[in-house]
Structure 1
C-alpha cells in the first residue's frame, strides 16, 4: 500500500498552528523596539539584550524540553510552554523598564519557545508519518508554521501605529491564545508508538547523548547552525531599526517581515521535498552560502523599498528551509526515540548564535552608530560555515551503524 499522510493530518495541522504562532509572534517583536525604547527610556542594547536572553534561554532549555517529552510525553510540555509564552507577552505589555522587559520578552517567552518552537513541533511531526514521507511532512509543517509572520507582523504594526506598542503586544497575546488547543491536539502524538530499538541501540538518554556529542557530522551541522541563528535573529531584531535609520517608511519593515514569512512557506516545502531526494547536509551548506551572499549584497548599498522586498523574498525562501533538513538529518543519524532531545542540542548551538546576533548587533550599533561591522561579520561567518558544511557533507560520512535501522 502506498504510504499516506492522511492518518496523521490532525497532528500535523495542530503542530503547524502551534509553530506558526510561536514563531510568527516571536519574529515580529523587533517591530516594537524603536517605540518601546523611547517609551521606557532604555537603550537599544537593553531591548536587544532581552531578545538575546530569549534566544539563549530557548536554546539552553530545548534539550531539557525534549528530554522531558521523551520521559513524560509531549502534551504536558507543550501546554506548559504555551502558558509561559502567553505570560511573557502579558509581562512585556505591562513592562515599566528594562528588567520587566527582560523577564517578559526574554525569560518567559524563551521558556515558551523551548517547549513550542520548531524543535518540538517537528519532533511531533516526525513520529506519526511513514519514513518515506517524513522529509516532506517536516517541510509541510515548517511551511505552515511560516504563516504566523504573515499574520502577526502587519497586525502588530497597525496596532502599534494606531494605539501604541503595548496595544501591539496585547494583540499578539490574543493571537497566541490559539496555541492552547493546538498544543492539546498535537499532544495526541504520545499515543503513537515509537519504533523498536535497533540492534546495538540503547534506551538510555545518557548513551544517546554521548553518541551525539562524539559524532563528527552532527557536530559540524551544529556548528554551522550557530551561524544560521546569528544571521536570522540579527535580521528579525535589527532590520526594522536599520530601515528606520535609512529613513524608510515604517511599514516597510512589517512588509519585509511578512514577505519573509510568505516565502518561508515555499522554501520549507521545497527543501522538505529536496531533503528526501538529495544530500541534506550539502543542501544545508548551500543555503548558508547563498544566504550570506544575499545579505552582503543587500547591506552593501542603501536600501530601497524594491531592494528590501526582493531581499526579504530570497531570505524567506532560505529561512526555515533549514528546519526540515536538520530534523531529517537528526532522525537519519540517531532515530526517533530521542530526536527531540538531540535536535535540541543542535538548536542550543543555533540559539547561542541567535544571542550573539541580537545582543552583539545592538552593542555594535551603540558603539558605532551603524550596522556596517555587524553585517560584515555575519556575512563572513556565514560563508565559512556554509563552505565547511558542504565540504563535510560531500565526504559522504554515514550515520552511526547502530542508529541507521532506527531511522527506517
Structure 2
C-alpha cells in the first residue's frame, strides 16, 4: 500500500492565489498614510508619532523576515500565511480601539509589522520560485508583485471613502475583516523546500545557515542589500507622507488618495514589465536604469509648480517604477544563489528594504517637525536613487555554483 502523495497545486494557481494575498496585504499597508491626519485630529497623534508607528512596523517587518522566510521554507508557505493573516486582522482591529500614541505604536506598529512578514513577498515568492520554470520565474514574480499594486488601486480609494462617510475607526474594522480572506487563499500557496540537494537550476543545495554564510561573503549580496534599502526609503516616505504633503499645499484628501491609487494602478503594468525584463535582460543593469529613472522623476516633481495635474502625473510615473525592483531583486537573488533558500536569502535582503522604510517613514516626519517642510526628504530621495543606480551596476551575477566549480579547460 503506497503512502498518500501531497496535494500539488498548479504553479499558476499558486501565482494567482499569491497575487491575491499580496493584493489584500499590501493594499491595506499602502492605505495607512490616509489615517495620519484624521488620527492626529482625533487622538492627538502628530506626524512624527504616526511616522514612528509606521517606522516600527517597517522595521519589525524587516527584522523578522529572514526567520519567517526560513520558517516558510521548512514548514510551508500556507501555514505561515494563515498565522500572518490572523495577526494582521487582530492588529488592525486593535488599532481601531486605541486612544494614544503608545497604543498606535503597539498595534499598527508592532502587530501589523509582524503580520506583514508572513503575508507578503518573501514567503510567497519563495514558494512560487520553487514551482515555476526558471525561464518564466521573472514573469511570475512580476504578477505576484503586481498584486500589491492592484490592492493599492482598489483598497486605497475604498479606505478613503470609508473614512469620509464614516470615520477612521470604521475603516480599520473593515480592513481587518478583509485580512481574514487571506486564510482561504493560503490553501493555494502550499509546499515547502525540498531537502538539500542539487537544485533544478544547477546551484548547490545546502543548509540554511551555510547558505546564509555563503551569501554574506558574496559582494553582490551586500550590494543588493544596500540598493534595496533605497527602495524601502522611497516606498515608505511616499506612501506615508505624500497625502499629507499634498494636503499641506491645499490639494485636499481626494488628490492624496487618488495619487496613491494611481501609483498602484501604474505599478500593475510596471511590475509585469520589469518581471518580463527580468527574464530577458541583465537584471542588475535594469535595476540601475530603474533607479536612475526614479531620481529623474522625483527631481522633476519637486522642481515644477505643484498642482493636482503635476501630483497625479508624478503618481502615475513613479507608480510604473514603484515595485518593479521586487521581481528584479528577488530574481537576482535566485539567479545567483538558487531557489532552495530563496525565502531566507530574499528575506535578508528585504530586511534591508525595511530598514530603509523605517527611515523613510520616521525621518521624513522628524524632518518636517524640525524644519516645517519635506524639502530634505525629497533631496535625500534623489541622492539615494542615484547611489542605488551606481551600486547595482558592478554586481557579479554569475550563479555561485558556477563560480565555485568552473568547467575544466
Task: Tell me the TM-score range normalised by the shorter chain.
Answer: over 0.9
Match of 1:46 in 2: 49
Deviation at residue 311 of structure 1 after TM alignment: 0.6
Question: Is the deviation greater in 351-360 or in 296-305?
Answer: 296-305
Distance of 2:304 and 2:247 partners within structure 1: 15
Q: Among 313, 319, 326, which residue is 1:310 paired with?
A: 313
Deviation at residue 249 of structure 1 after TM alignment: 2.2
Match of 2:3 in 1: none
Match of 1:196 in 2: 197
Match of 1:229 in 2: 232
Answer yes or no: is the 8 Å Cα contact 2:77–2:124 preserved in 1: no
Structure 2 portions without partners, runs of 5+ = 1-8
**SS in structure 2 at match of 1:261:** helix
Q: Among 162, 165, 171, which residue is 2:168 paired with?
A: 165
Deviation at residue 193 of structure 1 after TM alignment: 5.1
Cα-to-partner distance string for 1:314-346 (whole Å, 9 max, x where unaligned): 111101111111111111111111100000010
Question: Is the deviation greater in 61-70 or in 138-147?
Answer: 138-147
Counterpart check, 1:375 vs 2:378: yes
Deviation at residue 200 of structure 1 after TM alignment: 8.3
Deviation at residue 71 of structure 1 after TM alignment: 2.1
Match of 2:401 in 1: 401
Counterpart check, 1:92 vs 2:95: yes
Distance of 1:275 and 1:264 partners within structure 2: 16
Deviation at residue 195 of structure 1 after TM alignment: 8.3
**SS in structure 2 at match of 1:343:** helix
Distance of 2:377 and 2:148 partners within structure 1: 29
Distance of 1:140 and 1:46 partners within structure 2: 35
Distance of 1:177 and 1:215 partners within structure 2: 40
Match of 2:271 in 1: 268
**SS in structure 1 at match of 2:340:** coil
> Alpha carbons of 1:397 and 1:268: their partners in 2 closer, same or farther (altered >3 Å)?
closer
> Alpha carbons of 1:119 and 1:404: their partners in 2 closer, same or farther (altered >3 Å)?
farther
> Alpha carbons of 1:403 and 1:326: their partners in 2 closer, same or farther (altered >3 Å)?
farther
**SS in structure 1 at match of 2:191:** helix
Distance of 1:79 and 1:357 partners within structure 2: 29
Give runs of aligned pairs for residues 146-225 of structure 1, distance below 5 A. 146-186=149-189, 188-190=190-192, 196-197=197-198, 201-225=204-228
Match of 2:288 in 1: 285
**SS in structure 1 at match of 2:306:** coil
> Alpha carbons of 1:386 and 1:401: their partners in 2 closer, same or farther (altered >3 Å)?
same
Match of 2:10 in 1: 7
Deviation at residue 402 of structure 1 after TM alignment: 5.4
Answer yes or no: is the 8 Å Cα contact 1:335–1:403 preserved in 2: no
Answer yes or no: is the 8 Å Cα contact 1:15–1:124 preserved in 2: no
Counterpart check, 1:34 vs 2:37: yes
Counterpart check, 1:337 vs 2:340: yes
> Alpha carbons of 1:151 and 1:194: their partners in 2 closer, same or farther (altered >3 Å)?
farther
TM-score normalised to structure 2 length: 0.93
Answer yes or no: is the 8 Å Cα contact 1:59–1:347 preserved in 2: yes
Answer yes or no: is the 8 Å Cα contact 1:127–1:194 preserved in 2: no
Distance of 1:128 and 1:371 partners within structure 2: 44
Deviation at residue 86 of structure 1 after TM alignment: 0.8
Answer yes or no: is the 8 Å Cα contact 1:35–1:165 preserved in 2: yes
Match of 2:5 in 1: none
Match of 1:242 in 2: 245
Cα-to-partner distance string for 1:205-262 (whole Å, 9 max, x where unaligned): 1110101101111111110110111011100000011011100021011111111111
Deviation at residue 374 of structure 1 after TM alignment: 1.3
Match of 1:3 in 2: none
Output the aligned Cα RMSD.
Answer: 1.8
Answer yes or no: is the 8 Å Cα contact 1:93–1:166 preserved in 2: yes
